[in-house]
Structure 1
């Protein structure tokens, strides 16, 4: 039996990632789309006359849909998802699941009150190379250190709300950094972080040339004086068991190509994955995985897969997740761990920035 799916939000993610994949999946039927923009609704209606087109997610109900995929701007993630959950509609929510600890608490309450399950988007966990790396973790012995980087050459999002703090909640740390932290927790398990320090910078976000040319939007481009968020975040974390994690993520840099690296250093060896997360075409080749022990480095075979295959896997898993009662509360618990680290990185960066403000000179 096909799942009846509503897609809430008709921006880049819905049009490029979700709608084409849902349309091609034999177990999914998009019955409804929702967007407040008349232009977005009209453009969709021209292409899919058989789908119900709504302006307000409040018009959705459990008798109309089995699942709502929420792909709205960041500031509306928790409010839209929470309202749907309270009406008993299961929700698949794009990252970032929430922008604060308080929003995580609200989502937990909505899930309990409505009796519907929240499923969180975790694209990196569904990549074949990350799954292969996780299987290799047992070979490194006791894990001592993780190093995760996702650096773009020029990749500041072109949608204007991404660079406005009140709508995005933050910059690259909430965008790309969420994927890296989710990957770290996937590899380490549900750990607690005793120590968190971080720094953020904004050297590229106001440069028009740093905009992601591959992600065009019909809105004002990034690279204006209104940009209010960081384009680069660096952090160092230490778990309660003494495992250290270093994190670097950038929307733009001095590099020539986009790249992602995940290293797992252990007592018995080191595993290194080189790849590129996301959809940017500015990448070098596919993925490579190596294992180093006693001075010898050996490649680990990987099956190549098309860009975006991790999103296909997420859709494949939806029916099973919806049917599993154990999923209730899991997404919120994972989001709490991730947003807690992100807030602590921002707090550390703010303290560091404040301590370096120039002293006022009396008149």
Structure 2
């Protein structure tokens, strides 16, 4: 395994996961445009090789994990896939769906594994919700809230639209959007009406829990709301924010269906039985490190032909199409249909 990008997500999620799976995978190289940083990470985690150029790394590995800013996802992934290298790419898939489609095409052409890091699918509560959808029945209304109280990331390039493509939606909301789309599948989104905002984060003298940032430089969304209609007439009410003036952070996914309903965080199942509403509660974990480990295991097993991907590149591309439609709808001030 080679790591492309040696920032926080590589160090805090992917390196620990792969080193826990050391019977199945060995991290043999790391590359970053900041060579000093790459060398520091390599030394800290006993990674034997450091590369200045990821193209050189591709000659020496079986798979890569891409942890760069979003702008570079497509070009690196396509180059790797065309060299016969399997790819795990951090979310979102790319800057837009057109780039994502080129990644999918390269994976299919070269018969290689491409996985996008939507690790919420591997969280205990989400996996149980997926198994419980038979009790929910056909979805009617899905509700998603990915809300943070005053937590614009004050590090990295998160507020740079040229490098990231967007803000709270493309960085944080995409996780719960992917989760919801997976749970209600095979229902497919067909129409989006949305509005994006960047009012709060543009204000001077910020109250912000995640460090300081240049309020004049930020050019990405800090709030997003959307109404999404599906091909079976079900709907999804979506809201995400980095900087909400709310009491506390909120991570919420719930589904009301024809036979029952559920809420994911924490997991609860609601069913009409015996002339009353019954609630089922159970203990589930929301351990993101464990989810990252399970994601790495699934990717390695898929590369070895032992498993199918839980998160397919085609599904990740669908998420990107919805994200594109949300931004387009806001820009145009009207509903947008998804191809």
Same fold (TM over 0.5): yes
Deviation at 1:38, TM superposition (A): 2.6
Alignment-derived partner of residue 40 in structure 1 = 37
Which whole-Å CA distance do the structure 1 matches of 2:293 and 2:306 have between them?
23
Q: Deviations over 1:104-157 (max 9, x none)?
A: 232133224544321221211111101111222221233211111111112212
Deviates more, 1:43-52 or 1:249-258: 43-52
**CA 169–57 in structure 1, closer or farther in 2 if over 3 Å, else same:** same
Which whole-Å CA distance do the structure 2 matches of 1:307 and 1:20 have between them?
12
Which whole-Å CA distance do the structure 2 matches of 1:304 and 1:130 have between them?
10
CA RMSD after TM alignment: 2.3
Contact 1:291–1:300, Cα closer than 8 Å, also in 2:
no
Contact 2:195–2:330, Cα closer than 8 Å, also in 1:
yes
Which whole-Å CA distance do the structure 2 matches of 1:307 and 1:61 have between them?
29
Please list, as runs of the form range in 1=range in 2, the aligned pairs for 1:66-215 lying within 5 A after superposition.
66-206=62-202, 208-213=206-211
Matched, 1:303 2:284: yes
**CA 66–234 in structure 1, closer or farther in 2 if over 3 Å, else same:** same
Structure number with the bigger relative contact order (C-alpha 8 A, sep ≥ 6) is 2
Q: Work out the number of aligned pairs and report it.
A: 328
Deviates more, 1:171-180 or 1:40-49: 40-49
**CA 211–229 in structure 1, closer or farther in 2 if over 3 Å, else same:** farther
Which whole-Å CA distance do the structure 2 matches of 1:17 and 1:340 have between them?
26
Which whole-Å CA distance do the structure 2 matches of 1:268 and 1:50 have between them?
52
SS in 2 for 1:163: coil
Q: Deviations over 1:46-102 (max 9, x none)?
A: 42455201121111235x212101110111111111111111111101111122222
Q: Deviations over 1:331-354 (max 9, x none)?
A: 33223211111111111111229x
Residue ranges of structure 1 left out of the alignment (5+ in a row): 214-220, 275-286, 354-363
Which whole-Å CA distance do the structure 2 matches of 1:77 and 1:110 have between them?
13
Which whole-Å CA distance do the structure 2 matches of 1:155 and 1:188 have between them?
29
**CA 98–325 in structure 1, closer or farther in 2 if over 3 Å, else same:** farther
Matched, 1:341 2:339: no
Deviates more, 1:319-328 or 1:188-197: 319-328
Which whole-Å CA distance do the structure 2 matches of 1:87 and 1:317 have between them?
22
Alignment-derived partner of residue 229 in structure 1 = 220
Alignment-derived partner of residue 248 in structure 1 = 239
Deviation at 1:223, TM superposition (A): 4.2
For normalisation by structure 2, the TM-score amounts to: 0.89
